[in-house]
């Protein structure tokens, strides 16, 4: 089931694969994506794809695109270079039909993996957080959005910066 959800200047094209049951409403997930895009100053108005899937699909994508065996929790496929998200960067001049939004990329999340990680207390991206599947799914959607925007966690400084944004956004969403 696919649908577009508009939040401010963002359009989230949300696709929930058959048989996948999300513990979080589609509107709440779209708001999480929009909050992350806004927090990092993503160029807009823009669209972004969010696919809620399962371990089987994430396993296939992980093998094809990352060269790794087995499922993962979230994969992001950015369409713009990280420099497009730098403070003060001009909206990228990407060819598109008149009136069309800039498309930032695609995020694919395994709802199955989110639930498993939460249930086993292996959530929070650090592998040591026990919380609900809904909280884990919020984190993974936020995390995937930040990857679209050029954030990474390969180096300690990068990881600290990314985790700080995630924590701020998750605290804000928990308060609402």
SS3 of residue 39 by DSSP:
helix
Q: Return per-residue pLDDT of the chain as tens, 176 residues.
A: 789 999 999 999 999 999 999 999 999 999 999 999 999 989 888 999 999 999 999 999 999 999 999 999 999 999 988 888 876 666 666 666 667 888 999 999 999 999 998 888 766 666 566 788 999 999 999 999 999 999 998 898 998 999 999 989 988 876 55
Residue 78 · residue 91 · CB < 8 Å: no
Q: Give the count of alpha carbons within 13 A of 147, CB side only.
A: 20
- Structure tokens that stand for 159 in this block: 């990881």
Per-residue pLDDT at 171: 85
Domain count along the chain = 1
What pLDDT sits at residue 74?
A: 96
CB 3 within 8 A of CB 26: yes
Contact 96, 37 (CB under 8 A): no
Would you say the C-alpha torsion 92, 99, 147, 7 has a positive or negative sign?
positive
Q: Which two tokens mark 134?
A: 């809904």
Domain span at residue 14? Answer: 2-175
CA distance 82 to 150: 4
pLDDT of residue 88: 60
CATH number of the domain encompassing residue 98: 3.40.390.30
What is the predicted pLDDT for the residue at 77? 97
Provide the pLDDT for residue 72: 93
By C-alpha distance, which of 23, 11, 153 is closest to 76?
153
């Amino acid at each position: 089931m696919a649908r577009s959800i508009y939040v401010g200047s963002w359009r989230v094209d949300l696709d929930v694969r058959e048989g996948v049951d999300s513990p979080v409403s589609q509107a709440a997930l779209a708001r999480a994506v929009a909050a992350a895009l806004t927090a990092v100053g993503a160029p807009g108005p823009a669209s972004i794809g969010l696919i809620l899937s399962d371990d089987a699909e994430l396993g296939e994508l992980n093998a094809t695109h990352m060269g790794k065996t087995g499922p993962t929790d979230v994969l992001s496929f950015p369409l713009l270079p990280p420099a497009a998200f730098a403070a003060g960067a001009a909206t990228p001049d990407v060819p598109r039909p008149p009136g069309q939004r800039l498309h930032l990329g695609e995020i694919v999340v395994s709802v199955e993996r989110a639930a498993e990680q939460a249930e086993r207390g292996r959530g929070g991206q650090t592998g040591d957080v026990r919380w609900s599947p809904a909280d884990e799914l919020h984190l993974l959607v936020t995390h995937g959005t930040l990857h679209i925007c050029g954030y990474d966690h390969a180096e300690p400084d990068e990881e600290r910066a990314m985790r700080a944004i995630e924590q701020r956004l998750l605290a804000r969403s928990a308060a609402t």
